[in-house]
Chains A and B, each alone.
Chain A
C-alpha cells in the first residue's frame, strides 16, 4: 500500500503542475530551476507561481495530516485534530495579533511564523491541560470548539479596532491560500517542515504505546508528560508553519489520518505517519489541481474545497463509530 502512495504522489504532483492556466512544458520547468530566465513568462510562472504552490499544497497536506494523527493518538480520539481542538485557532489568533497590531516586526514573515508557532503551542498546551481535567472525549472536543469560538470572538474584536489595510491583509490571510509562499522562502520552510516530520518519526514508539491508553502506556514505562509536550510541540510546529503561510485549512488534519487508518487497518505509527504524510500531500495537491482547473469558471478557496470533501468523510466516520 505504501508503494502505491509513493507512486501516486509524483502523479498528483504532475497533475497539479499541469493544471494551471498557461501551457508550460517540462523544459520550462527544468529551466526555471536550473537556467532561470526572468524575461521568459513561462519560466517565471513555473518558478514563482506553480512550483511554490505545488510545494505549499504538499507540505500543507502532509503537515496537517501528521499533526492530526499525533493529536488523535495523544487524545485517543479519532475526532481530534489541530482544527477541532483549537490549535489552528490559537495560531490564527496570534497571527491576527501580528497583522493587526501594526508593529512592523510582528507583521513581517518571521513575525507571523513565530506568532503562529507560539499561538499553536499555547493552545496545544491549554487543550492538553484540559485533557487532564476531563475524562470524556466529547467534553474535550467541546472544549476545543469553545476555544475556537473564544478566539474567533477576540479576532472579531481585533478586526473592529484595526485599520482598513491591516484588516484587508488579515481577511485575505483568513480565506486561506496556497499562493503566498515565494520561491526563495522554500528552503527555510522546508527545514521547519522536515524538522516537524522527522521529529514525529522519533515518536513512533511512544505513539504506539499511547494506542493502548494513557495508563497502560505509563505502566509500560512511558514518560507521559514529556511525551505529551513533545507531541504538542511538533504539532504546533507543523500547524503553526502551515497556518502562518496558508491561513486556516480545515478538515485535512481530521479526515486524512482516519482515512489512512481505514485503508491500512494498522496502528503502527511508523506506517501511519508516513502514509498520512503521503495521502495528505496527495489529497491537497489534487484538491488544488481541481481548484486551478475550475478557476476560469468559479473561485473556490482551498479551505472550502477541503471542507466540502472532508466533512462527508467525518460524517461517515461518526456513522461507522455509532454502528
Chain B
C-alpha cells in the first residue's frame, strides 16, 4: 500500500500546484469547532488563522497563519499544504491514519510505540525516521529528513529546540488534544490536521461520522436504570491516582451509563486519594478500569491492597488488547471507546459485540 501511495505522490503534487494559484486568493469555507477547547480556526483570505489555547490559562498561547500563499514570510507562517510532517505524538499518527495520509509523515518519536502497520513498513523501508522524545530532538537529523512541520504532544513546558528549528525554516506546533476534556473534543483535532495536509473536507466527514456514532451510542444507554459503579486508575506508591470528576474519562463513564465513584470530584485532570479512602469507598465497586497493566499478577505486585477493591475478582479491564493501538487510535475513535465501555458495563445490550481496545484482566 505504501509503495502505491509513493508512486501517486508526483501526480498529487502536480494537482496541488494548480490548485495553489486559485486557493491563495480565496477564503476557504468556515471551520466550526464544536467540542475542542484548545484551538480555534478562522478562515481568512488565502488560508486560515490558527489560535492555540494554553490548556492551563485558557488564554491564546500562539497564533499561526496557515496559508496557501507560498510567498508569505513570517515567524508564525505555515505554508499549505504541508507534505512533510514529523509527528511526535502518537495520537497524530492515528488521526493521519484516519485521513489516509500516513505518507506525509517523515518522522516519529519511537517506532516501538507505533501500531500502524503502514508506518512500520515505511520505517522499515527508511521512508520514516525516528526522532526520539520531544524533550531532546536531533535537530540535524530533522533538517536532513526534509521535515517542514513538527507536531508534538506538549507534555513538557516547552518544545526543545523550537527556536533553532524555526530559524532553519521548520515550524512546530503542539497537539493539545490530550488536554481536551470531552472525548469528541479530542477527536476534533483531526480538523486541524486535515487543514494542514489539505484534506479538510475528509477530516470534517470523518469527524461527523465519529460524532454521530458516539451520540447514537450515548442515546442507547441514556435511560437505563442499572448504572454499575466504576473506578479508574491504580495505586502509585502510596496513593491512588484517578481521573477527576470533570475529566475526559469521567465523561466517557457517564456517557456509557456507569456511575463513576469519584464523579463529584472537581477538576479535569487527576485526583490523588489515600489508600484507605479508596479501599473504604470501593469494597463493592463493580468495575475497575485502566489499571495500566495487563494482568492481575502485576497488579498485586504493584500493590497487594488491590485485592480489596470489589471489582478485583471479576471486573478489571484495561486497554491491553493492543496497547499501541489504544494510544494511537483511542483519541480519534472515541466512538469505539464508548462502545467498549457500554459492552463492559451493559453486556446484555449488545450481546454479539466484541471489545475493541479493552481486555479483561486475568
B25 to chain A, nearest CB (A): 51
Instruction: Tell me which residues across on chain B come within 8 A of A41, comparing CB atoms.
Output: 279-280, 283
B236 touches A165 (CB 8 A): no
Partner of A22, one of B237, B276, B292, B298: B276
A295 to chain B, nearest CB (A): 4
Number of inter-chain CB pairs below 8 Å: 69
Complex CA distance for A182 and B239, rounded to whole angstroms: 16
Partner of A107, one of B236, B237, B301, B303: B301
Of residues 266 to 309 in B, which have CB atoms within 8 Å of A's CB atoms?
272, 274-277, 279-280, 283, 292-295, 298, 301-305, 308
Instruction: Tell me which residues across on chain B come within 8 A of A299, comparing CB atoms.
Output: 237-239, 272
A177 at the interface (CB under 8 A from B): yes
Partner of A49, one of B276, B292, B295: B276
Chain B: which residue is nearest A104 at the CB level?
Answer: B297
A21 touches B293 (CB 8 A): no
Instruction: Tell me which residues across on chain B come within 8 A of A301, comparing CB atoms.
Output: 237-238
Partner of A168, one of B239, B279, B283, B293: B293
Partner of A177, one of B238, B279, B293: B238
B303 touches A179 (CB 8 A): yes
Query: Assuming the A-B contacts A165-B293, A301-B238, are A180 and B304 also in contact, with contact meaning beta carbons closer than 8 angstroms in the complex?
Result: yes
Chain B: which residue is nearest A179 at the CB level?
Answer: B238
Chain A: which residue is nearest B272 at the CB level?
Answer: A299
With an 8 Å Cβ cutoff, the count of chain B residues facing the other chain is 24
A249 at the interface (CB under 8 A from B): no
Complex CA distance for A176 and B292, rounded to whole angstroms: 20
B305 touches A168 (CB 8 A): no
Instruction: Tell me which residues across on chain A come within 8 A of B323, comparing CB atoms.
Output: 164
A45 at the interface (CB under 8 A from B): yes
B298 touches A177 (CB 8 A): no
A48 at the interface (CB under 8 A from B): yes
A178 at the interface (CB under 8 A from B): yes
Instruction: Tell me which residues across on chain B come within 8 A of A107, comparing CB atoms.
Output: 301
A172 at the interface (CB under 8 A from B): yes
Instruction: Tell me which residues across on chain A come within 8 A of B276, comparing CB atoms.
Output: 20-22, 45, 49-50
Chain A: which residue is nearest B320 at the CB level?
Answer: A165
Of residues 231 to 283 in B, which have CB atoms within 8 Å of A's CB atoms?
236-239, 272, 274-277, 279-280, 283
Query: Assuming the A-B contacts A20-B274, A164-B323, are A49 and B239 also in contact, with contact meaning beta carbons closer than 8 angstroms in the complex?
Result: no
Query: Assuming the A-B contacts A22-B277, A179-B303, are A168 and B237 also in contact, with contact meaning beta carbons closer than 8 angstroms in the complex?
Result: no
Complex CA distance for A291 and B276, rounded to whole angstroms: 13
B132 to chain A, nearest CB (A): 13
Chain A: which residue is nearest B239 at the CB level?
Answer: A299
Q: Mark A272-307, 1 if CB is under 8 A from B, else 0.
A: 000000000000000000011001100101100000
Highest count of chain A CB atoms <10 Å: which of B274, B303, B305: B274
A134 at the interface (CB under 8 A from B): no
With an 8 Å Cβ cutoff, the count of chain A residues facing the other chain is 29
Instruction: Tell me which residues across on chain A come within 8 A of B303, comparing CB atoms.
Output: 172, 179-180
B258 to chain A, nearest CB (A): 23
Complex CA distance for A168 and B303, rounded to whole angstroms: 11
Of residues 89 to 134 in A, which have CB atoms within 8 Å of B's CB atoms?
107
B151 to chain A, nearest CB (A): 24
A178 touches B292 (CB 8 A): no
A169 at the interface (CB under 8 A from B): yes
Partner of B237, one of A21, A44, A177, A182: A177
A300 to chain B, nearest CB (A): 9
Highest count of chain B CB atoms <10 Å: which of A169, A178, A301: A169
B304 touches A165 (CB 8 A): no
Complex CA distance for A21 and B276, rounded to whole angstroms: 6
A292 to chain B, nearest CB (A): 7
Complex CA distance for A180 and B239, rounded to whole angstroms: 12
Complex CA distance for A169 and B298, rounded to whole angstroms: 7
A175 at the interface (CB under 8 A from B): yes
Of residues 20 to 62 in B, which have CB atoms within 8 Å of A's CB atoms?
none
Instruction: Tell me which residues across on chain A come within 8 A of B272, comparing CB atoms.
Output: 299
Chain A: which residue is nearest B323 at the CB level?
Answer: A164
B305 touches A179 (CB 8 A): yes
B291 to chain A, nearest CB (A): 10
Complex CA distance for A175 and B304, rounded to whole angstroms: 16
Instruction: Tell me which residues across on chain A come within 8 A of B305, comparing CB atoms.
Output: 48-49, 179
Instruction: Tell me which residues across on chain B come within 8 A of A177, comparing CB atoms.
Output: 237-238
Complex CA distance for A169 and B294, rounded to whole angstroms: 12
B239 touches A44 (CB 8 A): no
B347 to chain A, nearest CB (A): 27
Instruction: Tell me which residues across on chain B come within 8 A of A182, comparing CB atoms.
Output: 304
Instruction: Tell me which residues across on chain A come within 8 A of B277, comparing CB atoms.
Output: 21-22
Instruction: Tell me which residues across on chain B come within 8 A of A296, comparing CB atoms.
Output: 274
B275 touches A49 (CB 8 A): yes
A169 touches B302 (CB 8 A): yes
A295 touches B301 (CB 8 A): no
Query: Assuming the A-B contacts A172-B236, A179-B303, are A165 and B274 also in contact, with contact meaning beta carbons closer than 8 angstroms in the complex?
Result: no
Instruction: Tell me which residues across on chain B come within 8 A of A176, comparing CB atoms.
Output: 237
Partner of A172, one of B237, B280, B294: B237
Instruction: Tell me which residues across on chain B come within 8 A of A179, comparing CB atoms.
Output: 238, 275, 303, 305
A177 to chain B, nearest CB (A): 5
Chain A: which residue is nearest B298 at the CB level?
Answer: A165
Instruction: Tell me which residues across on chain A come within 8 A of B280, comparing CB atoms.
Output: 21-22, 41, 45
Chain B: which residue is nearest A247 at the CB level?
Answer: B237
Instruction: Tell me which residues across on chain A come within 8 A of B292, comparing CB atoms.
Output: 168
Complex CA distance for A291 and B238, rounded to whole angstroms: 10
Partner of A44, one of B294, B295, B298, B308: B308
Q: Mark A160-171, 1 if CB is under 8 A from B, else 0.
A: 000011001100
Complex CA distance for A41 and B277, rounded to whole angstroms: 10
B357 to chain A, nearest CB (A): 16
User: What would be 9 A-B contacts, judged by CB atoms less than 8 Å apart?
Assistant: A49-B275, A165-B295, A168-B292, A168-B302, A172-B237, A177-B238, A179-B275, A299-B239, A301-B237
A21-B277, A299-B237 known; 5 other A-B pairs, CB under 8 Å? A41-B279, A107-B301, A178-B238, A179-B303, A302-B238
9 interchain residue pairs of minimum CB distance: A295-B274, A21-B276, A175-B237, A21-B274, A165-B298, A21-B277, A182-B304, A299-B239, A179-B238
Q: Show the binding face of B for A, using Cβ within 8 Å.
A: 236-239, 272, 274-277, 279-280, 283, 292-295, 298, 301-305, 308, 323
